[in-house]
Amino acid sequence: MKVNVGGIDRLLRIVAGIVLLALVFVLKNESGFWLWGLIGIVPLATGLMSWCPAYSILGMNTCPMKEKK
């Protein structure tokens, strides 16, 4: 897995993931709505790993690091 998520993108993913996961605890008594909070696992995981499978498929890269030859 090659790093393809840059600094600001990574930070936004981590924050969005934490916010969405917080919905699990805030909406735990609502019927089914708390499940939407589990979507937060995806941006949190991709932010922590600095790798996004969708970026790999689409050939995108927000990481400013240059490849070593």
11-22 pLDDT, tens per residue?
Answer: 999 999 999 999
Q: Is the pLDDT of residue 68 over 70?
A: no
Alpha-carbon dihedral angle through residues 46, 50, 52, 57, given to the nearest 10 degrees: -170
Averaged over 41-61, what is the pLDDT? 93
Q: What is the pLDDT of residue 29?
A: 76
CA distance 69 to 24: 45
Tell if the pTM clears 0.85, that is, is over it: no
Domain boundaries, the chain: 7-58
